[in-house]
Structure 1
């Protein structure tokens, strides 16, 4: 299955447009927060201006003993200048009224008391005016310029509402201009500091992914010391490692194919030689009888080495297929394949509980147990009579975090060279002529199951622990 090829987005269809949209949205949110108190203040000032005309009218009324004697032209000018239908002046419990020649009978009257100037009242009043239906009459109430005087104006709300909408449009135009200018400035700055470097990184990763063997595509880091600079340097180092690793793996793959072919032919040749050595061993010649066992042992070792190399080369990278497996039975099968079961001189103890069931790949995990048990048997056989009652024991410890399977023997232990090169193919063998592939394969399989294979140092013998996560346990 081929991977879907990624395409670098257009400059104004990727991160850039998201950044611009975010900047503009944030600016508009800020403008909205600023707009509400601003429009409330505008409404209050508008009401105060109209109320000042009412205060002037109140002075006129206060100076004239008989209001009815005022010329109609004067009262009309007072009302027109205030844009009001009527002005009421209250003082010491008495009220005086100036109204149009043809009084207007309002249907809906809403009161705006300029004496209440708390923030909530101002905001609610502004929103009420903006959202109000047309045709309402506004009753403006406020204090006069003398003590204990009160002035009221009756006027249509439409002029106030219209002026508030005009003011809002002005604020909107200014806000849009500020948002555009700020977004452009921030975009240019962010483009220089962030967007352009990120696009450069993205473009380089896409190009390098298509041709990782092309060394000229390795990114050249900039001298920046911030997070972008760190990403560039780390990406360059990673691409260099990948480039070197691919070249090394290509060489190893070519070499491996040649070695596999040579090894296959060598194994066939050694098998033929082994058949001949078996026939030679049946001769009665004393020299032949003395040399034949050495020849057979040498050929067996050479065939084993060739077979180990072939097995290691055939190891696949397929992930384990997990399924419930009884560990005690799997250990018995591995001990049989490792020629530990029924061994004439080496005892074997399987202390795994019958109820222990783990979600593992039976074939792969059985290979891990087989390699460990086989290594333990070979170590005890090499020690010979130097070990009293040689024995291999498998124990299991369960905890809340892990399941530990321990494979231990009472043999001579690992030599220093083997300890220094544990789990290293062709170097970590504990016996002469060994390949060290068994432990390398066992570790890879254990790690593929999410676990760890560790060597436990102890005074006598050798012990390896297979530590698997507790999540692999199957509840009984």
Structure 2
């Protein structure tokens, strides 16, 4: 499958732009960390160069006898080479001064002591010089070339500050160049390994979402063995399964529509046949009297089968509309609809308390109860004619925030085949010729309410337990 390659706007947006910005920010942060010691080293070297001139001047002073004075042109050249206003040489408690012809009186002075070699002090001094305003006088203090001698230089700080600013600009330009080249190189590497595959997966998901029935859009995974490769293979497998499920759903929908039409026509035909069988049953012919009940029973089963299939196809897929429901009245209505209360051969016990309420969709829970009560009635009607005390009981109790509704009959119980696929449509029928749709619908309704339905183990008969949340979800 060939997908359109991402355009330039897509490539440099989203993850790409964040990646580039992060790389540049990290590199600039590293450069700043490196820049501060480098700037301090530059300032120290600059000061040491000026101090060396002061040491040379001190040597000259040592070479000249005390009774002689240095020529003015020599002192001026020494001061000019150091860029200083004055040089002070201290040794053995004595001080010697070399200054300009016109002495300069500093208004603001700051001391740079080169005897302090620790990095924090050097960084602090560099930042102080860099961010200080113009017009300060710098006092450079350092050791001379002989024991216990000091050399001091007084000079304007502005030349040092200008040189530091030029050095900083150079560092910034070099740092930006390094950051740009490094960011581009890393981006191309990361883009090839990660960004491009992610963009490919994103484009595939967007395209497949628009047309999931198009098998040509199923992702063709690469042979990568890392997490990206795993993601590609899992996405391709998911899209293949979804494609197959959608095709199956369409086929089932078409088949269901055809079955619904067939069932509708078949039910009408069977209803007409049932009317004819009722008329035939009134004839006096002994053969007719013997065969007519079987014919009527067979037609009833066929009509019931067609009706159950239609009901299952019309089953609502809407979520339940939760309201407080008095359970006892709901059970009474369901028993009447399932033809339990008006059946002279059955005894029905509604043991639900008058004030027992559940929070549920009354219509859907009513259908659930009708299906369970109908199964119980059919099981009891299948007993021998002389079977005593055919009884169906409904009871309810609250347990730990849940309502457990039990539908119990004292019939013959369920056969093993029905227990194996109890809640599977068309497979879990509890009687011969049934569809198993009633219990499948009951399970769907219970699960839609956040509950469950299960077959309980009893010594005799059948008992279904429906467990539902007792109160409003989230309350």
Q: TM-score if structure 1 supplies the norm length? A: 0.86
User: Which stretch of the first structure deviates more once superposed, 364-373 or 449-458?
Assistant: 449-458
The 5 A counterparts of 1:213-292 are: 213-283=213-283, 285-292=285-292
User: 1:122-170: per-residue Cα shift (whole Å, max 9, x none)?
Assistant: 3332222222222222222333333333332222222222222222222
Are the equivalent residues in 2 in contact too, given 1:106–1:137 (CA < 8 A)? yes
1:69 is paired with a residue whose SS is: coil
1:368-417: per-residue Cα shift (whole Å, max 9, x none)?
333233333433443466686644344344336x6554545444333222
Distance 1:471 1:32 in 2: 62
- Give 1:63-462 correspondences, 5 Å limit: 63-66=63-66, 69-283=69-283, 285-341=285-341, 344=344, 345-351=346-352, 354=355, 356-358=357-359, 360-383=360-383, 390-399=391-400, 404-457=404-457, 459-462=459-462
Instruction: In structure 1, list runs of 5 or more residues that go unmatched.
Output: 1-6
Aligned partners of 1:398 and 1:404 also within 8 Å: yes
1:155-197 deviations in whole A, cap 9, x for unaligned?
A: 2222222222222222222222222222222222222221222
Structure 1 residue 356, shift from structure 2 partner: 4.5
- Distance in 2 (CA, whole Å) between partners of 1:195 and 1:176 is 24
Count of residue correspondences: 467
Match of 2:3 in 1: none
Of residues 260-269 and 282-291 in structure 1, the stretch that sits farther from structure 2 once superposed is: 282-291
- Return the alpha-carbon distance in structure 2 between the equivalents of residues 67 and 387 of structure 1: 147
| 2:58 is the alignment partner of 1:61 | no
Q: Which SS does the other structure have where 1:96 is aligned?
A: strand
Which residue in 2 is equivalent to 1:43?
43
CA contact under 8 A between 2:51 and 2:151: conserved in structure 1?
yes
Which is further off, 226-235 or 35-44?
Answer: 35-44
Higher alpha-carbon deviation: 33-42 or 227-236: 33-42
Please report how far the alpha carbon of residue 287 of structure 1 lies from its aligned counterpart in structure 2 after TM superposition. Answer: 4.5
Q: What is the CA deviation profile of residues 14-57 of structure 1, one whole-angstrom value per residue up to 9, with x for unaligned ones?
A: 43333222222222222222222222232233233323333333
- Aligned counterparts of 1:207 and 1:474: Cα–Cα separation in 2: 37
Structure 2 gaps, min length 5: 1-5
Distance 1:371 1:262 in 2: 24
Post-superposition shift, 1:434? Answer: 1.3
> Quick one: distance in 1 between partners of 2:252 and 2:457?
34
Q: Is the 8 A contact 2:324 2:357 kept in 1?
A: no
Which stretch of structure 1 is more off in the superposition, 409-418 or 296-305? 409-418
SS in 1 for 2:393: strand
Q: Deviations over 1:325-365 (max 9, x none)?
A: 4445444443443344576534434447835442x333233
Post-superposition shift, 1:424? 1.8
Q: Cα deviation per residue 1:186-236 (whole Å; 9 max; x = unaligned)?
A: 222222221222222222222222332222222222111111111111122
Q: CA RMSD in A?
A: 3.1
Secondary structure, aligned partner of 1:320: coil
Tell me, yes or no, if the aligned pair for 1:57 and 1:78 is still in contact at 8 Å: yes
Which piece of structure 1 moves more, 268-277 or 159-168? 268-277
Distance in 2 between the 1:92 and 1:471 partners? 98
For 2:67 and 2:394, locate their aligned partners in 1 and report how far apart those are by CA, in whole Å: 120
Q: How much does 1:431 deviate?
A: 1.0
Higher deviation after alignment, 303-312 or 81-90: 81-90
Conservation of the 8 A alpha-carbon contact between 1:409 and 1:462: yes
For normalisation by structure 2, the TM-score amounts to: 0.86
Distance 1:365-1:155 versus aligned 2 partners, 3 A rule: farther
1:3 is aligned to: none
In structure 1, what is the Cα distance between the partners aligned to 2:237 and 2:20? 33
